[in-house]
Amino acid sequence: MPTNSLSPTRADLLRELQQRVDDRVLEPTNAALLRKLIERADTDDEAIAVAALGTTYKRTGFHFDVRLERLTNDIRYLRRNPALSFTTSPNALTHRLIIGDNYEALQNLLIQYRGQVDVIYIDPPYGKDRMGEFAHTNYENALTRDNLLSMLYPRLQLAKQLLSGKGILLCSIDDRNHAYVKGMMDDIFREFGFVTSFVWQKKKGGGQNKFVYEGHEYILCYLKNKSIIKKLLVTDSSEISEKNIVKKNGHYYRVNDDFIRVVYGKYESGTERRCHYEDILEIKGKEKWDEVQDKLKKGDFILRPSKSDATKHYVCRLEDITEGKKKVVYSIISGIRTEDGTNEVNSIGLDFDSPKPSELLKILLNLTQNKQALILDFFAGSGTTGHAVLELNRKDGGQRKFILCQLNEKTDTTPNGIAYDVTTKRLKRIMTGKYYDGTADFPWAKTNEPYGDNLEVTEIDRVFNAEATTGKTPFDVIDETLYGQQPFTTMREKIEWVCQHFQHAQKAVENDSDWEKRKRDLDHATRS
């Protein structure tokens, strides 16, 4: 097969192959042979298998059982949910929510968005209380973490194909699983793609811990292309220094190397936030201080001195530190608490266990400084990532779009499923200011303007690949407009398109029973 006719998958494989040579992981002569085999492979799957032969360092230092993919007779496709979708304006941005298994959602997203996603953030179910039936394996079998890692591995492989050349992937993880998940992600993105482990100080105080209190967790950060690391993260703290300490009318604030801290009155613990260099309000005289105090109590503003005159003081909104085109990025994120996320969701009239605060997501999503970024979260939960995207757009006039994926898992507090009872409702309420029934009886709506924009909600459905009943064939039920295609004018065009793009949407990862049987067979063979 000539190089200029290679599929996107094979082109990516060849680039990765060359990267292994550049990184001195693979010998050039071996790479040349693998290149020929990849170019001449009969299918993309065969090409992927050939490329894996060059990955000599796979899963170095630890082991887990990778769940195998198998081909099924069902095609997974997107079906629009008109009852949950809504439009606020035909000229507004349209965001997406996919309800269903995120592995199948990622397969479908690859049909339209391969190499186009700028930021991926995920918050997988790593906590002991969030693992459900998997908690035993995850926390008592500390050698493998099979359930967590084997669930993440194939999904991250698909996610990597969605990332653009300048794409960033961010993954929240706890102390217990950090080393394992990082090892797996080093395998997928190569160690050269690793940027840092952000430390999020999510709580204060000692709690009930008698020895060591872990009030933090991590956010792993990886880049698809290592060459953009220096361009992405430029640290410059020249505008902040310890000497900037001011006392005015009993109010104190100081600037240190990392954060601006305000301590005054009943605000005993203070607040730590990053501050945008934008003059919002100049304080002239005592009459302004009451106004400043009210704003500070609401947590919307913070004080800073004038850069030109230290005797003048300004109030500015709580934003990421930005100075021109330079970005000040700190690996420790503080001043944003777990309860902030809980309070945020409660104010929207919803109940959800341990949602991430949107302020945290705003810091992470803004790493690219790309106001037109396409942002994906395939463990969407309550929809915090979508909320953060909408807020960032409002703050800086950006045109970011989000794609969220959420399994409609049923819990004690979500009898209809998380996607139906929480995710869709949150997005509907903050984007329109109303419930789906048109009412607006929740606290957030009384103090905030709705963000607007449109939401397209789709669900994962299945169709037998050989279904021949008129009106029910794959070519009848799959809507090409949900994949960025204009409607086909002939059935022949539709058939060719479906056959070309939906082969991968028939793959499934081994289910629990298949996986447990394979482990038992392996264990029996080992013992005998």
Give the separation between CA 136 and CA 335, rounded to whole angstroms. Answer: 33
The predicted structure's pLDDT at residue 207: 55
The predicted model scores a pTM of: 0.72
Angle between helices 8-22 and 28-40 (to 10 degrees): 180
Give the separation between CA 519 and CA 407, rounded to whole angstroms. Answer: 26
The predicted structure's pLDDT at residue 246: 39
The predicted structure's pLDDT at residue 42: 85
Asked if the model's pLDDT at residue 520 lies above 60, the reply is no
- Output the CA–CA distances (angstroms, integers) from residue 344 to 382, 386, 528, in the order listed: 11, 13, 56
Classify residue 55 by burial, with Cβ atoms within 10 Å: 0-12, 13-18, 19+: middle
The predicted structure's pLDDT at residue 510: 67
Higher pLDDT, 53 or 402: 402
Do 78 and 498 form a contact (C-beta atoms < 8 A)?
no
Per DSSP, 444 falls in state: H
Q: Quick one: pLDDT band at residue 283, thresholds 50, 70, 90?
A: very low
Give the separation between CA 164 and CA 149, rounded to whole angstroms. Answer: 24
The predicted structure's pLDDT at residue 110: 96
- 9-29 residues labelled b (16+ CB within 10 A) or e (exposed): bbebbbeebebbbeeeebeee
User: Can you tell me the mean pLDDT for 136-160?
Assistant: 68
Give the separation between CA 37 and CA 40, rounded to whole angstroms. Answer: 5
Convert the pLDDT of each residue in 314-361 to its tens digit: 444 333 333 333 444 678 888 888 899 999 999 999 999 889 999 999
CB under 8 Å to 317, separation ≥6 — which residues? 276, 278, 280, 300, 301, 395
What percent of the chain stands above pLDDT 90? 44
3-class state of residue 523 by DSSP: helix
- Tell me the CB-side half-sphere exposure of residue 524, using CA atoms within 13 A: 6
Best mean pLDDT range from 45-49, 163-167, 230-234, 307-311: 163-167
User: Can you tell me the mean pLDDT for 370-387?
Assistant: 96
Phi-psi group of 281: left, alpha or beta (phi > 0 → left; psi -120 to 50 → alpha; rest → beta)? beta
3-class state of residue 280 by DSSP: coil
Q: Pick the range with the lowest mean pLDDT from 99-103, 196-200, 218-222, 266-270.
A: 266-270
The predicted structure's pLDDT at residue 320: 32
Alpha helices in 53-174 (DSSP H): 102-113, 135-140, 146-162
The predicted structure's pLDDT at residue 208: 59
Q: Quick one: pLDDT band at residue 242, thresholds 50, 70, 90?
A: very low
Convert the pLDDT of each residue in 383-392 to its tens digit: 999 999 999 9
The predicted structure's pLDDT at residue 287: 45
Best mean pLDDT range from 16-30, 263-277, 304-318, 426-440: 426-440
Asked if the model's pLDDT at residue 174 lies above 50, the reply is yes
The Cα angle at residue 310 between residues 305 and 315, in degrees rounded to 5: 25
Do 274 and 319 form a contact (C-beta atoms < 8 A)?
yes
Residue 91: Cβ within 10 Å count: 6
Do 218 and 172 form a contact (C-beta atoms < 8 A)?
yes
- Tell me the CB-side half-sphere exposure of residue 414, using CA atoms within 13 A: 20
Asked if the model's pLDDT at residue 280 lies above 90, the reply is no
Percent helix / strand / coil, the chain, rounded to 5: 40, 20, 40
The predicted structure's pLDDT at residue 206: 53
